Amino acid sequence: MRDIYHDELDEIGAVLIRMAKIVGVAMQRATGALLDGDLTTAESVISSDPEVDALRAHTEERCFQMIARQQPVATDLRVLITSIHMLTDLERMGDLALHIAKVARLRYPDRAVPDDIRDVIEQMGSVAQSLVAKVADVLEGRDIELAQAIEAEDDSMDALHRKLFTLLLSPNWSHGTEAAIDMTLLGRYYERYADHAVAVARRVVFIVTGQWPDPLASGFSTLG
Amino acid sequence: MRDIYHDELDEIGAVLIRMAKIVGVAMQRATGALLDGDLTTAESVISSDPEVDALRAHTEERCFQMIARQQPVATDLRVLITSIHMLTDLERMGDLALHIAKVARLRYPDRAVPDDIRDVIEQMGSVAQSLVAKVADVLEGRDIELAQAIEAEDDSMDALHRKLFTLLLSPNWSHGTEAAIDMTLLGRYYERYADHAVAVARRVVFIVTGQWPDPLASGFSTLG
């Protein structure tokens, strides 16, 4: 029989999965709002972000109280400290979806994304969606192989990011400086969203195996 | 007489101050390398960043071991958990200095920053320097009023960031898309550096007072 302490640890795991789903929906809606110039959807992403922030703050406090009151053994303590880091990553993913929605709102009634850039932004949105769906699965099943697939998928985000810069720097770029600035910031938001998704996956690997996926890789340590 | 536990807590505080100083020097050197097109300095910022990452990882592990072995009371536990967050902020500030140095290296032997943008970037560098120096002082003295001054100074970073966009979007902008992209990313790096400095200051206020500086402000919760 599980004790109350482990029930509570499971509940924190459930919140992490829920947050991954919430920031996944936020990203899906933000990308849709951006590509379709849809102000209502953009506003809904923006207005729902404080819920994610509050969920992070509340759940971090729960982790803290569990550590303070239960004085968990090393393994459970590792899970709780790592959960606090994952909460921060997931909250930040919500913020990045919010930033994308704000670009959509800023340019409304125009569409922020020029037609010849639409494809690459749409693909960045798809990769972000796919990454966060896998993150929720990894959190649910603690599946190490799936966590590794997330790192591979992050490479395709990096490739799309490079492709975006190639398009912006092409002599055919005819959309001016404002659109170039918007696309630069959007590219950064999608890339950082993916980076935080990878961070969450790596933290799950750390909890399960006790080892960082690759201690020499600097990728993880550049997050925060 | 202090006990060994509190001596160790003081040592972690000393590491945080040291990291603030290291990432302050990194930012100073990165800005210098950027403005002067100085490859040697840019390379030195880039090559020294892994030390900051290692210091973060090592010190987080020390915090973890202190929690696991000593089972600290609530106040000391709060200090340790908050220290883990501050380590993440400071490491990220080092990464952002590194990103600035990489822009300098990428454009060498040219200078990345056009002459008519030089002033605003120089000022962003100065504000970043001033912020991180105050952060080190706040960590050292736990001075709440100084922590509030940091928030006010962050407003001047935001004003500089807006000024940068005004210059990029002026009809007189004659430096093309590549320079506009560089300036957009640089502006973001300086702004995020300042955001993380503010986050560290707010965390000190939280440790000292037990309250977030302004629970309704969303500024803090957007960090990570």
Q: What is the pLDDT, as a whole number, of residue A216? A: 40
C-beta atoms of A221 and B57 within 8 A: yes
- How large is the average pLDDT for residues A126-142? 95
pLDDT for A213: 79
pLDDT of residue A208: 87
Kindly list the residues from chain A whose CB atom is less than 8 angstroms away from the CB atom of residue B61.
Answer: none
In the predicted structure, residue B96 carries a pLDDT above the cut 60: yes
Contact flag B169-A185 (C-beta cutoff 8 Å)? no
Provide the token pair at B191. 């702004």
For A9, A79, A125, A158, B69, the CA distances from A205, given in Å and listed in that order, are 17, 11, 25, 22, 24
Is A110 in a helix, a strand, or coil? coil
Q: What is the CATH number of the domain that holds B174?
A: 1.20.58.220
Establish if B207 touches chain A: CB-CB under 8 angstroms: no
Give the tens place of pLDDT for each residue, B99-139. 999 999 999 999 999 999 999 999 999 999 999 999 999 99
User: DSSP string of A117-175?
Assistant: HHHHHHHHHHHHHHHHHHHHHHHHH--HHHHHHHHHHHHHHHHHHHHHHHHHTSTT--S
Q: Are the Cβ atoms of B180 and A181 closer than 8 angstroms?
A: yes
In this predicted structure, what is the pLDDT of residue B136?
96
Segment B177-189, tens digit of pLDDT = 999 999 999 999 9
Percent share of chain B, pLDDT over 70: 94
* pLDDT one-digit tens code per residue, B35-63: 999 999 999 999 999 999 999 999 999 99
Question: What pLDDT sits at residue B214?
Answer: 66
The pLDDT, as a whole number, for residue A2 is: 60
Tally of domains in chain B: 1
pLDDT digit string, tens, across residues A146-203: 988 999 999 999 999 999 999 999 999 999 999 999 999 999 999 999 999 999 999 9
Q: Which residues does chain A have within 8 Å of residue B81's beta carbon, measured at their own beta carbons? A: 64, 67, 81, 84
Q: Do A84 and B89 count as a contact with CB atoms less than 8 A apart? A: no
**DSSP conformation class of B170:** S
pLDDT for residue A220 is more than 50: no
Structural domain span for residue A134: 4-222
Contact between A83 and A63 (Cβ < 8 Å): yes
pLDDT bin (cut points 50, 70, 90) of residue B2 is low
Q: Return d(Cα B134, Cα B141) in angstroms, integer.
A: 10
Quick: pLDDT tens for A84-94: 999 999 999 99
Is residue B189 within 8 Å of B124, Cβ to Cβ? no
Q: Is the pLDDT of residue B216 over 90?
A: no
- Cα dihedral: A212, B221, B89, A129 (round 10): 40
Residue-level pLDDT at A217: 45
Q: A32-50: per-residue pLDDT in tens?
A: 999 999 999 999 999 999 9
Tell me the C-alpha to C-alpha distance, in Å, between residue A75 and each of A3, A71, A78, A79: 16, 11, 5, 6
- pLDDT tier for residue A76 given thresholds of 50, 70 and 90: very high
| pLDDT band at residue A218 under the 50/70/90 scheme | very low
Task: Choose among B64, B95, B185: nearest Cβ to A222.
Answer: B95
